[in-house]
Amino acid sequence: MSLLHLAILLPLLVSLFIPLLYKKIRSVHTGWFVLLVPLTLVAYFSQFLSQTMAGKTVVATMKWIPSLDINFVAYVDGLGLLFALLITGIGSLVVLYSIYYLDAKKEALHNFYVYLLLFMTAMLGIVLSDNMIVMYLFWELTSISSFLLIGYWYERERSRYGAQKSMLITVFGGLSMLGGISLLSLLSGSFSIRESLATVGTYSGDPLFTVSLVLFLLAAFTKSAQFPFHIWLPDAMEAPTPVSAYLHSATMVKAGLYLVARMSPIFAETPLWFYLVSSVGMFTLFWGSLNAVKQVDLKAILAYSTISQLGLIMSLLGLGAAALQVDIIPDSLYTVATVAAVFHLINHATFKGSLFMMAGIVDHETGTRDIRKLSGLSQLMPVTFTIATIGTLSMAGVPPFNGFLSKEMFLTGVLQVSESGLFHLDTFGLLFPFFAVVGSIFTFVYSILIVYRTFLGPKQLDKLPKKPHEAPIGMLIPPLVLVSLVILIGLFPNLLSNTLIRPAAEAILPKVIANGGTIPVEIKLWHGFNLELFLTVLIISAGTVLFLTLPKWRSLYHRMPKQVSLNHQYDALLRRGERTSTAIHDTVMTGYMRSYLVYIFGFIVVLVLSSLYFLDAFRFDVNPLSTVHAYEVVLVLVLVGSALSITFARSRLTSIILLGVVGYTVALFFVLFRAPDLALTQLVIETVSVALFLLVFYHMPEISRKEERIKFKLGNAAISALVGLSVTLVALASLSQRSFASIAQYYIDNVADLAAGGNMVNVILVDFRGFDTLFEISVLAIAGLGIYAMINFRKTGGIDK
């Protein structure tokens, strides 16, 4: 294992010791030990900056399943390093914040930090994996760990609901991603992202390529809360604020953006990629900002604002595909959208992380997040007010903060691509600037709403559950660091131009570099009087007017019928699914073992016989057959006669006796074919079975002769006959065609040399197939423990409780 692999797995390894630390060292908050992990990783990953700035990559391979081309290939380039630094950097601040936010005496901190570290490893695994199967495993691990984090306060019904909702939607996307990976690897012949990119020209015209594209986008849209899959994100706000600040500003929701950015070199030359990514992202920007204005909970406003901002970045990644559709020349204008996406990705992590922490501080110190009760807190919480003001102005795109710079680049990218004439944008391309401007206007409205309704206006202290006061310094440091970055990046944006932004953009658009082009990254606070500036003035002006007139038009939100909302449809779908599953359960699960056997054997018959027929798999060759003796014919007749007689038996005792005859006849066959161990096992099983059956019937209540008689059931007889026919046909087909040489000779040749044994059967069971035997013994042990526990429960009455 390389040092890079160890860095990815470090949070997971440390999480194994968190419960022990929590139990043994109660005098120190567990978070202080956890804080060392992301800080160490930030320092480690920072050393790769010089290499990614020079256009180099770092690759480390750890063998896993090489026969299936599945190895843990850790791959660091500009894009992966950017996300790794966000994951560990924001993670450090979130852990510090959580130390003061979570009460060590009231909270199960060992659970919280185990989940958090598990999630950190999952995110690092996603952004630093080249093998798509490994990336998928980490992808699903984020869904599991985020489920645990969102449902951390599991005693709350809304927390459980939000955790389940996020799990169902994101796991659906994960399964779609697995399908996309399967198809893409089938086309490219490799699970490696780099190798798939190298050969994309040979298979991009295949119809399965388009199917794979759609499946990958489903995964990205669900994880990054794009419309219509965005509904899980607001309900995920039931998680503790440190979780919201981490998952929903810098990590989990960015995983979908990372997937789109990473797969863009493979899919972006397809027009469908441009249409879907840019259109869905742009509408999500509009829809999220529109719905944020009507919220009254601080974290709900921030949740919908996150949806909106994610849509903005997603649309930029889609628009950036235009750079791959033209003959690239140095300083191509079409790279602006991709650069803006990377830049806003960083900016969003800074201002949104600080705002989530601000919301947590307000909730922590006042006891509520309802903006209808919050007002006039600026004098009581001046530092928190400053954090909120800087964060919201940056989110609203007001200079001189970093959000203004990336918002200007966003408008530039939208205008340039919509005027390019690509993809017939000369017709509907004007919709992009329209949705961009309208979405930005509502972004300005909800940004001002957060500050005004929380910190300005008259005080309403009588409506607050707690007397408000400023938060402790430890809770203020993380958001202060983030808003300091908001100002620093806004004033000196080119500090990140060559260190983080350009290497990441080059990783998204490798074709630009391969064709001799460049990706210019020169970010300026002032670009002169241009269309983008006038649009910004329009956004601020219109946003101000809408905010001032908010009471007059906000009632329009209530006119939309609840029945048409996506959340209502989701809940209705779950209810319908529950009713349907209950109906199926009540119909199929009759409580009778014979019904279940009918289902099982019926399915086996259909599967086996259809496979033999449609695959033309049946063969019959008499050459491998041995000579049949007369006594063997007699035994076969006895066996068949006994089996047939069971179906016509009218007494249960008669059926048991006939079943015993079948078993003992099979044992005789084992003796004749020189398998004494099997014969002995068969005799013991039949003897015990018959004895148990007779004992059961002996102790059963007396029943009348009429009730005891068994009716002949044609359906059961037919299934029995078909099962026997299926097994017979499979046995004959297997005997008549051999795909591989028999392994028997291998055992004969190696039993003495490799296992130093004389009894071949014993050696096979203990040495050659030792794990099989071990697992069988384990299963029997577990079953025995279960039976023992049930007996004890019955004795103590616990089973009835």
Residues 453-477 have pLDDT tens digits of 999 888 888 888 888 889 999 999 9
Which pLDDT value is given to residue 715? 78
Kindly report which listed range (264-273, 576-585, 623-632, 782-791) carries the lowest average pLDDT score: 623-632
CB atoms within 10 A of CB 117: 24
- Cα separation, 377 vs 466, in Å, equals 13
Whether the predicted pLDDT of 593 surpasses 90: no
Kindly report which listed range (18-27, 285-294, 596-605, 746-755) carries the lowest average pLDDT score: 746-755
Judge whether 142 and 123 are in contact, CB under 8 Å: yes
- Whether cis (ω within 30° of 0) applies to the bond prior to 400 is yes
Residue with tokens 């600040």: 245
- Whether cis (ω within 30° of 0) applies to the bond prior to 265 is no
Judge whether 486 and 391 are in contact, CB under 8 Å: yes
Which pLDDT value is given to residue 705? 45
Compute the average pLDDT of residues 59-73: 90
Residue 174 neighbours by CB under 8 Å, 6+ apart: 136, 139, 140, 143, 219, 222
Q: Vertex 289, ends 284 and 290: CA angle to 5°? A: 100
Judge whether 457 and 379 are in contact, CB under 8 Å: no
Phi-psi label, residue 674: left if phi above 0, alpha if psi -120 to 50, beta otherwise:
left
- Cα separation, 282 vs 249, in Å, equals 19
Compute the average pLDDT of residues 63-92: 93
- Cα separation, 448 vs 208, in Å, equals 47
Intra-chain end-to-end CA distance of the chain, in Å: 50
Judge whether 518 and 338 are in contact, CB under 8 Å: no
Identity (one letter) of the amino acid at 69?
D
Judge whether 273 and 267 are in contact, CB under 8 Å: yes
Residue with tokens 């010089």: 50
- Cα separation, 394 vs 404, in Å, equals 6
Whether the predicted pLDDT of 799 surpasses 50: no
Structure pTM? 0.83
Which pLDDT value is given to residue 426? 65
b vs e for 131-159, b when ≥16 Cβ sit within 10 Å of the residue's Cβ? bbbbbbbbbbbbbbbbbbbbbbeeeeeeb
**Angle of the 402-418 helix axis to the 298-319 helix axis, nearest 10:** 40
Judge whether 145 and 119 are in contact, CB under 8 Å: yes
Residues 332-373 have pLDDT tens digits of 657 889 999 999 999 999 999 999 999 999 999 999 999 989
Q: Domain spans of the chain? A: 272-548, 587-741, 742-801
Residue with tokens 């798509």: 132
Whether the predicted pLDDT of 321 surpasses 50: yes
Residues 174-223 have pLDDT tens digits of 999 999 999 999 999 999 999 999 999 899 889 999 999 999 999 999 99
Judge whether 263 and 230 are in contact, CB under 8 Å: no
**Burial of residue 721, with CB atoms counted within 10 A of its CB: 0-12 exposed, 13-18 middle, 19 or more buried:** middle
Which pLDDT value is given to residue 535? 93
Residue 629 neighbours by CB under 8 Å, 6+ apart: none
Residues 407-446 have pLDDT tens digits of 999 999 888 877 766 666 666 777 888 999 999 999 999 9
Which pLDDT value is given to residue 330? 44
Which pLDDT value is given to residue 594? 80
Q: 85 is written with which tokens?
A: 């630094």
Which pLDDT value is given to residue 685? 87
Whether the predicted pLDDT of 531 surpasses 60: yes
Compute the average pLDDT of residues 764-771: 82
Residue 208 neighbours by CB under 8 Å, 6+ apart: 183, 186, 187
- Cα separation, 768 vs 777, in Å, equals 16
- Cα separation, 86 vs 42, in Å, equals 9
Which pLDDT value is given to residue 421? 66
Whether the predicted pLDDT of 130 surpasses 90: yes
Q: According to the 3-state scheme, what is the secondary structure of 11-41?
A: HHHHHCCHHHHHHHCCCCCHHHHHHHHHHHH
Residues 275-303 have pLDDT tens digits of 999 999 999 999 999 999 999 999 999 99
Q: By C-alpha distance, which of 707, 708, 691, 700 is closest to 656?
A: 691
Residue with tokens 């529109």: 290
Q: What is the mean pLDDT of the chain?
A: 88
Tell me how far CA of residue 610 lies from CA of 140, 316, 621, in angstroms.
35, 51, 21
Which pLDDT value is given to residue 405? 94
Judge whether 725 and 612 are in contact, CB under 8 Å: no
- The DSSP 8-state label assigned to residue 325 in this structure reads S
- DSSP β-bridge partners for residue 59: 75
* DSSP one-letter string for 535-557: HHHHHHHHHHHHHHTHHHHGGGG
| Helix locations, 78-190, DSSP H | 78-101, 109-127, 132-150, 157-188
The whole-angstrom distance between residue 228's C-alpha and the CA centroid of its chain comes to 17
Q: Vertex 90, ends 87 and 93: CA angle to 5°? A: 140
Q: 572 is written with which tokens?
A: 């209705």
- The DSSP 8-state label assigned to residue 674 in this structure reads T
Which pLDDT value is given to residue 422? 67
Phi then psi for residue 666, to 5 deg, are -60, -40
How does residue 540 score in pLDDT terms, banded at 50, 70 and 90? Answer: very high
Residues 491-527 have pLDDT tens digits of 998 889 999 999 999 999 888 887 777 888 888 887 7
Q: Which helix (H) or strand (E) holds 60?
A: strand 58-65
- Cα separation, 249 vs 624, in Å, equals 69
Judge whether 155 and 163 are in contact, CB under 8 Å: no
Q: Cα Rg for the chain, rounded, in angstroms?
A: 34
Which pLDDT value is given to residue 754? 82
Residues 37-54 have pLDDT tens digits of 999 999 999 999 999 999
- Cα separation, 55 vs 513, in Å, equals 10
- Cα separation, 482 vs 348, in Å, equals 10
Whether the predicted pLDDT of 401 surpasses 90: yes
Whether the predicted pLDDT of 774 surpasses 90: no
